[in-house]
Amino acid sequence: MPSDARLAGRLDPASTVLLTVECQRGVVGPDSALPELAEEARGSGALANVARLVAAAHHAGVQVLHAVAERRPDGRGASRNARLFRAAERLPVRQTTGSPAVRIADPIPVSAGDLVVRRLHGLSPIAGTEVDALLRNFGCRTLVVTGVSANVAIPNAVFDAVNLGYTAVVPADAIAGVPADYTPALVRHTLALVATVTRTDDVLACWRRPPGTR
């Protein structure tokens, strides 16, 4: 892990954006379409850590983006070119536009300054969405990636961020996937090669520092 000074330098609130990935009720809420993933996100403390990071970002003036995956009621525009997409069509809970399933899950706080970016297709919260343009307009240099799942969307987000020239920071205790032992393996053998891996408390410590000491 980077030193406190190096991490603080990368997490300057003026050039950092916090991204939450698929932290929506229909994915990590009590009525999730994916109960095993929801249980892991909650039981591991990952969802609570996402909530802590969002609250701290609000206090520190860090821009927050919430990436939500959803589909139209008629399914138009939805991807069907992978087994995952076809399986999602058979789940009892649908991530339908405008439904409670696509609202940000408790206990994550949402402020008026947060932006919610919704996608109808694909696997990535960045590729094919407006996230890159928004990040550039915010003057973002560092993207903090949190949420689910470590199996698919999180590595997609990290790879896309790095390919687009951003520094990716991943608080390893604020992401979750299934099975439980898959996430640390992904972090160690894949994400650590391309992102700055840290922990929630270390990010919070950086954002609590007075501006002149970051």
Of all residues in the chain, what percent carry a pLDDT higher than 90? 82
Maximum CA extent, the chain:
53
The whole-angstrom separation of Cα 115 and Cα 109 is 12
The pair of three-digit structure tokens given for residue 127, joined into one six-digit string = 């590729």
The pair of three-digit structure tokens given for residue 68, joined into one six-digit string = 């939500």
Q: Residue 211 — pLDDT band, cuts 50, 70, 90?
A: low
Residues 146, 200: contact at Cβ < 8 Å?
no
The whole-angstrom separation of Cα 129 and Cα 150 is 20
- 161, with CB counted inside 10 A (0-12, 13-18, 19+), is buried
- Could you read off the pLDDT of 83-142 as tens digits, one per residue? 887 877 777 778 899 999 999 999 999 999 999 999 999 999 999 999 999 999 999 999
Measured in degrees and rounded to the nearest 5, phi and psi for residue 65 equal -120, 135
Q: What is the rounded average pLDDT of the residues 19-29?
A: 97
Residues 90, 139: contact at Cβ < 8 Å?
no
- Could you read off the pLDDT of 176-193 as tens digits, one per residue? 999 999 999 999 999 999
Tokens 């927050």 belong to residue:
64
The whole-angstrom separation of Cα 214 and Cα 204 is 12
The whole-angstrom separation of Cα 34 and Cα 37 is 6
Give Cα 160 to chain centroid, integer Å: 13
- Could you read off the pLDDT of 190-206 as tens digits, one per residue? 999 999 999 999 999 99
Please tell me the predicted confidence (pLDDT) of residue 8: 93
Tell me which of 51-65, 73-87, 140-154, 182-196 is least confident. Answer: 73-87
Q: Residue 214 — pLDDT band, cuts 50, 70, 90?
A: very low
Q: Is the pLDDT of residue 27 over 90?
A: yes
Q: Is the pLDDT of residue 212 over 60?
A: no
Please tell me the predicted confidence (pLDDT) of residue 85: 79
